[in-house]
């Protein structure tokens, strides 16, 4: 099993949202550029450190107007990491083609990064959560058709052997033929998270690896099972472990007690403030309030998405029980990875969120080091038919 180190890069200085009744897009808070600049240096350094420790890959993603994640331009993040690393895969677990006015520009930038890194790019294209569409003023009802058309346009831009015209529902171009061409043949490997039947069928039909984030083991088992069923029954192929990724918040320490003590307050900040704050902001947007109205706070909370409600009522024991967080000794983390692997029918990549909330730099580096030294050698063997 591969291990990737994923980073949201949050802005940490957001107070408990219940105190200010604040939510995405965080209008009750001020952005301090001195702190923001330091966060970027810390976060990029943490991913560089993960590469030095021998992690199989490092992951970036995309969010807008958002303290939850300071990466409106993940290609910029990736270009910085390309210069900091030599042979580690750089994976986009979020690059949102449906938001682009010109998806061809995205195809060009990724092809450029693929050349700069000599083929170290994995290109993840999620459809994106509602806050991204609210931020850019794009009708969420158009999200799927925009996404699927942009996907097809990008793939054709990477692979067409002669100039082509494109006359789609959302995008129209003439004489498309990009330079540079991708370094990898025919293009960077693709990845797409999927939960709905439409998305699961889309990925299974195109034989694109999939994954899930922020879900209990039971849900992941169900969704991976659906993907396998669609692939085998409807599209004539059989997925393997390499077609599945699972994301988990992970913290490793010397004892169970120390792991909880060091991680719990920062997990609470991540879930109860940053994650729930995004969900509450989305509730406001879906109810026609953009930005949110603090006077309607209770109404927004009542309309929370199930995971938003789960995060808002964060409980350490529940998250551990459901497997969304894995906090403990190296032995415990290995045991949980093995259990989850068996429960969901196998997966080839664990995407670890080794930073969360306001976890300080020293704890992140300690976490990464302990995982690399004491967990990863055992995690590498999970799923190996010839251990």
Residues with Cβ within 8 Å of 265's Cβ and at least 6 positions away in sequence, in order, are: 357
For residues 16, 22, 24, 26, the Cα torsion angle rounded to the nearest 10 degrees is -90
Per-residue pLDDT of 311-358, as tens digits, reads 999 999 999 999 999 999 999 999 999 999 999 999 999 999 999 999
Domain contains 299 = yes
Domain contains 93 = yes
Between β-strands 57-60 and 89-92, what pairing exists: parallel, antiparallel or unpaired? parallel
Question: CATH code at 242?
Answer: 3.20.20.30
Domain contains 34 = yes
Domain contains 384 = no
What is the per-residue pLDDT for 18?
85
Peptide bond connecting 180 to the previous residue in cis, omega within 30 degrees of 0: yes
Structure tokens at 63: 């969010």
Domain contains 369 = yes
Smallest CA-to-CA distance from 122 within 161, 87, 90 is with: 90
Beta-sheet strands, E only, within the chain: 2-6, 57-60, 89-92, 121-124, 164-167, 172-176, 190-193, 210-212, 244-252, 325-328, 349-353
* pLDDT confidence band for 386 (50 / 70 / 90): very low
**Whole-angstrom Cα distance, residue 352 to residue 7?**
9
Q: Which residues of 167-197 are buried (b: 16+ CB within 10 A; e: fewer)?
A: eeebbeeeebebeebbbbeebbebbbbbbee
**Whole-angstrom Cα distance, residue 226 to residue 378?**
29
Domain contains 28 = yes
Per-residue pLDDT of 164-200, as tens digits, reads 999 999 999 999 999 999 999 999 999 999 999 999 9
**Whole-angstrom Cα distance, residue 115 to residue 121?**
9
Domain contains 386 = no
Domain contains 289 = yes
Count up the domains in the chain and report the number. Answer: 1
* pLDDT confidence band for 214 (50 / 70 / 90): confident
Domain assignment of residue 212, given as a range: 2-379
Structure tokens at 199: 């998305």
Instruction: Yes or no: say if 316 and 356 are a contact pair by the CB < 8 Å rule.
Output: no
**Whole-angstrom Cα distance, residue 276 to residue 89?**
31
**pTM metric for this prediction:** 0.96
């Amino acid at each position: 099993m591969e291990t990737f180190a994923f980073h949201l890069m949050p802005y940490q200085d957001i107070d408990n949202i219940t105190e200010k009744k604040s939510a995405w897009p965080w209008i009750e808070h001020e952005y301090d550029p001195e702190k923001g600049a330091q966060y970027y240096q810390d976060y990029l350094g943490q991913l560089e450190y993960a590469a030095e420790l021998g992690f199989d890959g490092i992951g970036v993603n995309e969010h807008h107007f958002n303290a939850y994640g300071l990466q409106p331009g993940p290609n910029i993040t990736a270009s910085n990491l390309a210069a900091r690393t030599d042979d580690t895969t750089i994976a986009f677990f979020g690059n949102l083609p449906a938001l682009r006015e010109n998806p061809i520009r995205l195809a060009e930038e990724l092809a450029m990064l693929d050349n700069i890194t000599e083929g170290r790019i994995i290109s993840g294209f999620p459809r994106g959560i509602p806050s991204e569409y609210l931020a850019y003023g794009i009708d969420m009802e158009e999200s799927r058709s925009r996404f699927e058309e942009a996907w097809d346009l990008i793939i054709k831009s990477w692979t067409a052997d002669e100039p082509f015209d494109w006359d789609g529902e959302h995008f129209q171009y003439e004489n498309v033929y990009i330079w540079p061409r991708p370094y990898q043949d025919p293009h960077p490997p693709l990845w797409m998270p999927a939960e709905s039947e439409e998305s699961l069928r889309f990925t299974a039909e195109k034989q694109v690896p999939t994954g899930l984030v922020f879900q209990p083991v039971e849900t992941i088992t169900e969704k991976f099972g659906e993907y396998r069923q669609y692939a085998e029954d409807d599209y004539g192929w059989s997925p393997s472990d390499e077609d599945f990724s699972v994301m988990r918040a992970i913290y490793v320490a010397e004892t169970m007690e120390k792991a909880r003590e060091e991680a719990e307050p920062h997990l609470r900040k991540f879930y109860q403030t940053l994650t729930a704050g995004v969900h509450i902001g989305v509730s406001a947007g879906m109810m026609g309030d953009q930005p949110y109205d603090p006077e309607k706070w209770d109404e927004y909370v009542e309309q929370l998405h199930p995971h938003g409600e789960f995060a808002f009522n964060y409980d350490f024991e529940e998250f551990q029980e459901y497997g969304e967080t894995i906090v403990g000794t190296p032995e415990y983390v290995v045991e949980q990875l093995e259990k989850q692997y068996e429960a969901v029918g196998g997966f080839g990549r664990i995407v670890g969120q080794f930073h969360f909330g306001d976890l300080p730099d020293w704890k992140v580096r300690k976490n990464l080091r302990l995982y690399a030294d004491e967990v990863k050698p055992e995690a590498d063997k999970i799923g190996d038919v010839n251990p």
